[in-house]
């Protein structure tokens, strides 16, 4: 039990703006008393809180009385100082740890959080159940607004092409979208779309088999969810900068895969082509044309989204060309009629919706 | 009991006694902690800055006090994120899904609806930020506040802003002054309400500069460009004329933007003199004495400070702006300390999250 003593103090009682000048007395057993010629107040030491520092002064508050302010000189006798709440600069945690230590701990925790956030797509993506992915895809694009072309002959040809590059029991769904862009996408939920623009410029069904195989590769290797998560993470980081209305379709079309993912999808496509005895030279020809048309700089053609995020076209053409057996005897993957049915599919489908830029 | 304070003829009622070196000892650790916490410390940093700035600001014979906490600002932010951020995210997702399915009109309508909601919330946010700041500002233990939640002000904000812009923007001064009056009239400090009756007429003249200036500036610019061409011709013939012309046009563009910026500053300087001068509290009359030149100096030095410190000067801007505000704010009249009793207004337990989210100032 400390000795009782008193010092000069000023205070406001919180009920009005009148300043009281008098004495603060410590009763030696956990209580303070304030006495001025016109006012008297007493309260428990446990009720007192540190408020702030002013030049030469410290301000204390009371937990039970929000408007109460006690102003004491900065230098109070050590005996009294021991009864007063400690000064606080930053807030509880940092005051306890010290600025340097707290900053170091926060820094490490933040670096760990950033690392987790940045790598999450890679390890989380493949672990998301396929059923969830299908639901997400369903919610995002549905039936693509009726923009998928269908004719009986074209559907049959596409099914045949798909069966060659996707031997799995449960096939991905493939379609040709009525969009005049040289592009192809793998949507969340195992749906692969070739854009009509790409189909129109294809010179052989083997080209389409190569591109389709590549997109199926993205689905089978679970790249789509990874890319989706990465984009989602980016949009969180950019917080709203990326929330325009037209983003959905273009966002999907330009959704970036890593180069490694692209290589995996290419390898998948080449393996399927080999299994089904389809010439990889068609795909090689496609990439050579792309390389001539858009140059070999992978980043240059901003609009050719499918190409932009891919390894350089020339390099890829070579990889496909190397995969061809010398003097290999490849059977054509589609008959000329079937290929023609694919090409005319969008033109002949009476119900298909036009794609326009809103 | 205690008597009245007569402020007639005395020094300024508001005095700022801060020191930037002292402030630096708060601002630099704040910057460090904000970086290592990926920005989460921001709320506590803001609170520490305000506590310093308020405590070095004296009104008559007692310092102001900032009684807000970092935690409540943080909670305000979390609340805005949960109540508005997530629904907004969901709404844009639905809008995109509608568009992908071919219901473009519905998708666009939904996005438009979201924009309207943001417009409304912006008004609510401006109101609540002022209310929050008043409720956390104490002088002699007394605080301010408002019993109004600001939802009605959000509606006023929407329609007055719209009406202000419809006749070629001519009613903007009216909407600005009228919103100022509406907002401040719902605020109080201690037991007494603020009153504001700013009139648009007082700032309308300055506002007209916006309409007149483009013509004047354009004419001036064309003359400058022409002179540039002539000068260029004198120096280097035809080629010199082209170069001179290009330089002249660059000068025109610069002139144009600087000119418009200057008009905006001139307008705001006048606007703040008008609205603060028309705001009263009990027997106190306020005034704000910053001239256009004061504002220009503030902004130019701000820019120089930021540029020449490679951005680090940004952390001192809040100090400079508060000092500017305190230095030019004046009050005349008298206060009866006995009748200045504690505010009975309700206080929100969270900070100005909404406004923080929209990143606008309170005053």
pLDDT class for A62, splitting at 50, 70, 90?
very high
Backbone angles phi and psi of B8, in degrees to 5 = -60, 125
**Could you tell me which chain B residue has the CA closest to the CA of A101?**
B33
**Could you tell me which chain B residue has the CA closest to the CA of A244?**
B92
A98 touches chain B (CB under 8 A): no
**Chain A contact set for B143 (CB, 8 A):** 67
A146 touches chain B (CB under 8 A): yes
Between A122-131, A240-249, A269-278, B331-340, the lowest mean confidence (pLDDT) is in A240-249
Q: Environment class of residue A138 by beta-carbon count within 10 Å: exposed (0-12), middle (13-18) or buried (19+)?
A: middle
**Chain A contact set for B89 (CB, 8 A):** 243
Query: In a mutagenesis test of the A interface, which of B141, B192, B339 is the best target, namely the one with the most A β-carbons within 10 Å?
Result: B141
**Chain B contact set for A52 (CB, 8 A):** 51, 55, 65
**Chain B contact set for A19 (CB, 8 A):** 2, 62, 140, 337
- Residue of B99, B100, B140 with shortest CB distance to A17: B140
Q: What is the ipTM of this complex?
A: 0.79
**Chain B contact set for A146 (CB, 8 A):** 102
How do residues A167-189 score in pLDDT, each as one tens digit? 777 778 888 888 888 888 888 77
Tokens for B28, please give them.
């630099």
For chain A, give the longest Cα–Cα distance.
113
Residue A236: the pLDDT is 60
Tokens for B4, please give them.
């009245």
Helices B317-328 and B292-308 pack at an angle, to 10 degrees, of: 160
Residue A121: the pLDDT is 76
C-alpha–C-alpha distance, residues B263 and B258, integer Å: 9
pLDDT class for A237, splitting at 50, 70, 90?
low
pLDDT class for A302, splitting at 50, 70, 90?
very low
CB of B244 within 8 A of CB of B229?
yes
Backbone angles phi and psi of A219, in degrees to 5 = -65, -50
**Chain A contact set for B142 (CB, 8 A):** 12, 16-17, 67
**Chain B contact set for A358 (CB, 8 A):** 99, 104, 108
- CB contact under 8 Å between A110 and B37, yes or no, is yes
Strands A173-177 and A191-195: parallel
A28 touches chain B (CB under 8 A): no
Query: Which residues 142-171 of chain B have a CB within 8 Å of chain A?
Result: 142-143
Mean per-residue pLDDT of chain A: 79
Per-residue pLDDT 10s for chain B (363 aa) are: 344 444 444 578 899 999 999 999 999 999 999 889 888 888 899 999 999 999 999 998 899 999 988 888 888 888 888 888 788 878 877 877 777 777 778 878 888 888 898 889 889 888 988 988 999 999 999 999 888 888 899 999 999 999 988 888 888 899 999 999 999 999 999 899 999 999 888 888 888 888 877 777 777 767 777 777 777 777 666 777 777 777 777 777 777 778 788 888 999 999 999 999 999 998 899 999 999 999 999 999 999 999 999 888 899 999 999 999 999 999 998 888 888 888 888 877 666 655 654 544 444
pLDDT at A249 over 90: no
pLDDT class for A244, splitting at 50, 70, 90?
very low
Angle at B255 between CA B252 and CA B258, to 5 degrees: 150
Q: Chain A closest CA to B260's CA: distance in Å?
A: 28
Residue B104: the pLDDT is 77
- CB contact under 8 Å between A248 and B99, yes or no, is yes
- CB contact under 8 Å between B108 and A51, yes or no, is no
Residue B96: the pLDDT is 77
CATH architecture of residue range(s) A5-88: Roll (2.30)
The 3 state secondary structure assigned to chain B is CCCEEECCCCCCCEEECCCHHHHHHHHHHHHHHHHHCCCCCHHHHHHHHHHHHHHCEEECCEEEEECCCHHHHHHHHHHHHHHHHHHHHHHHHHHHHHHHCCCHHHHHHHHHHHHHHHHHHHHHHHHHHHHHHHHCEEECCEEEECCCCCHHHHHHHHHHHHHHHCCCCCCHHHHHHHHHHHHHHCCEECCEEEEECCCCHHHHHHHHHHHHHHHHHHHHHHHHHHHHHHHHHHHHHHHHHHHHHHHHHHHHHHHHHHHHHHHHHHHHHHHHHHHHHCEEECCEEEEECCCHHHHHHHHHHHHHHHHHCCCHHHHHHHHHHHHHHHHHEEEECEEECCCCECCCCCCCCCCCHHHHHHCCCCC
- CB contact under 8 Å between A143 and B101, yes or no, is yes
Give the domain ranges of chain A: 5-88, 90-120, 128-348
């Amino acid at each position: 039990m400390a000795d009782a003593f008193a010092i000069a103090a000023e205070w406001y009682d919180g009920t009005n703006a009148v300043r009281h000048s008098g004495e603060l007395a410590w009763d030696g057993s956990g209580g303070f008393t304030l006495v001025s010629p016109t006012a008297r107040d007493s309260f428990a030491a446990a009720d007192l809180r540190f408020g702030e520092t002013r030049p030469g002064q410290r301000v204390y508050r009371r937990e039970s009385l929000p408007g109460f302010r006690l102003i004491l000189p900065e230098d109070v006798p050590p005996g009294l100082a021991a009864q007063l709440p400690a000064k606080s600069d930053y807030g509880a945690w940092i005051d306890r740890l010290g600025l340097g230590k707290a900053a170091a701990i926060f820094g490490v925790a933040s670096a760990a959080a950033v690392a987790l956030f940045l790598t999450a797509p890679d390890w989380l993506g493949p672990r998301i159940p396929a059923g969830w992915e299908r639901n997400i895809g369903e919610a995002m694009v549905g039936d693509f607004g009726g923009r998928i072309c269908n004719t009986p002959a074209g559907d049959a040809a596409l099914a045949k092409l798909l069966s060659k590059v996707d031997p799995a029991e449960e096939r991905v769904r493939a379609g040709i979208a009525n969009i005049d862009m040289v592009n192809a996408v793998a949507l969340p939920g195992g749906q692969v779309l070739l854009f009509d623009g790409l189909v129109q410029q294809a010179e052989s069904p083997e080209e389409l088999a190569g591109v389709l195989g590549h997109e199926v590769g993205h689905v089978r290797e679970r790249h789509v969810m990874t890319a989706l998560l990465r984009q989602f993470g980016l949009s969180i980081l950019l917080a709203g900068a990326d929330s325009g209305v037209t983003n959905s379709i273009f966002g999907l079309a330009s959704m970036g895969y890593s180069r490694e993912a692209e290589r995996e999808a290419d390898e998948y496509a080449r393996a399927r082509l080999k299994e089904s005895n389809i010439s990889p030279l068609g795909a090689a020809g496609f990439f050579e044309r792309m390389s001539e048309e858009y140059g070999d700089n992978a980043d240059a053609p901003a609009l050719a989204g499918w190409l932009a995020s891919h390894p350089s076209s020339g390099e890829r053409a070579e990889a496909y060309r190397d995969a061809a057996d010398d003097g290999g005897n490849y059977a054509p993957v589609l008959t000329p009629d079937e290929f023609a049915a694919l090409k005319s599919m969008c033109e002949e489908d009476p119900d298909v919706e036009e794609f326009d830029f809103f | 009991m205690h008597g009245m304070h007569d402020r007639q003829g005395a020094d300024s009622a508001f005095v700022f006694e801060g020191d930037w070196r002292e402030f630096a000892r708060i601002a630099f650790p704040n910057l460090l902690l904000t970086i290592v916490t990926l920005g989460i410390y921001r709320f506590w940093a803001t609170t520490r800055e305000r506590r310093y700035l308020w405590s070095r600001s004296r009104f008559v014979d007692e310092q102001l006090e900032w009684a807000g906490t970092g935690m409540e600002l943080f909670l305000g932010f979390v609340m805005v994120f949960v109540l508005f951020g997530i629904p907004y995210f969901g709404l844009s997702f639905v809008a995109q899904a509608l568009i992908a399915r071919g219901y473009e009109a519905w998708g666009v309508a939904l996005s438009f609806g979201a924009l309207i909601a943001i417009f409304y919330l912006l008004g609510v946010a401006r109101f609540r930020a002022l209310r929050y700041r008043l409720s956390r500002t104490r002088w002699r233990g007394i605080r301010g506040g408002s019993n109004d939640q600001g939802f009605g002000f959000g509606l006023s904000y929407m329609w007055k802003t719209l009406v202000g812009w419809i006749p070629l923007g001519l009613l903007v001064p009216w909407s600005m002054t009228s919103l100022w009056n509406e907002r401040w009239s719902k605020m109080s400090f201690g037991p007494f309400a603020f009153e504001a009756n700013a009139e648009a007429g007082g700032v309308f003249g300055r506002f007209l500069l916006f309409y007149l200036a483009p013509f004047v500036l354009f004419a001036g610019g064309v003359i400058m460009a022409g002179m540039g061409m002539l000068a260029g011709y004198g120096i280097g013939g035809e080629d010199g004329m082209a170069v001179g012309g290009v330089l002249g046009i660059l000068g025109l563009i610069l002139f144009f933007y600087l000119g418009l910026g200057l008009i905006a500053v001139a307008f705001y300087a006048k606007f703040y003199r008008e609205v603060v001068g028309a705001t009263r509290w009990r027997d106190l009359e306020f005034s704000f004495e910053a001239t256009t030149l004061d504002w220009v100096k503030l902004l130019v030095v701000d820019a120089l400070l930021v540029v020449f410190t490679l951005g680090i000067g940004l952390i001192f801007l809040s100090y400079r702006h508060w000092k500017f505000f305190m230095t030019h704010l004046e009050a005349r009249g008298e206060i009866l300390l006995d009748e200045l009793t504690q505010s009975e207004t309700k206080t929100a337990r969270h900070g100005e999250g909404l406004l923080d989210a929209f990143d606008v100032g309170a005053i």
